[in-house]
Amino acid sequence: MQEVVDQALSIHTNSEKLGLGVDVVGIEHFKTICKRTPSFTKKMFSAAEITYANKKAEPEIHLAARFAAKEAVLKALGVGFAKGVGYRDVEVKVDKSGMPRALLYNEAQKIAEKLGVTDIPISISHTKTEAVCVAIAITKASIEAKEKTKVAANEVTEQFKALRKGL
């Protein structure tokens, strides 16, 4: 029975099967960068991201949130803006239900494919002073591990029931 429990725990705690990324951006600092370097937004964001932000009362807050999302997604993949990953290799769009979605292109997409990433859900939030994003890189291996965990948990339950009957 201990072997089954150990297997279930090892499957559940194997962090290589998921990637987690978090990033926080100071709004005032971000605004300063945008004012100091006007080309920054065009280099960093897609036309769609800029258009989305410009429809808001305070576009810089929404761009800062998207910058945090790009950073969080790349952290979830285990890279930053390095290894050939460009600023526009991660784009944040809003889906039909209003949820932000991270879309990957070029090198970021290649890295995700190599890692077996099937989805990267993100959660973005902001205040007047900070923008934050959390991203989780879900892999095929994490989905398979979840299924194995269910099987292992069922085995443990059945063994426990059998042992309890013997008492």
Annotation: binding site for Mg(2+): 23, 71
133 Cβ contact partners less than 8 Å away, ≥ 6 residues apart = 21, 22, 23, 65, 68, 69, 71, 72, 73, 122, 123, 124, 125
DSSP strand pairing (90-94 vs 18-26):
unpaired
DSSP 55: T
The upper half-sphere exposure of residue 7, i.e. CA atoms within 13 Å in the direction of its Cβ, equals 15
Instruction: Please report, in range form, the residues annotated as the binding site.
Output: 23, 71
Q: Which of 27, 132, 26, 136 is nearest to 73 (CA)?
A: 136
Residue 87 CB burial class (10 angstroms; 0-12, 13-18, ≥19): middle
Residue whose pair of structure tokens reads 């029975």 in the numeric block: 1
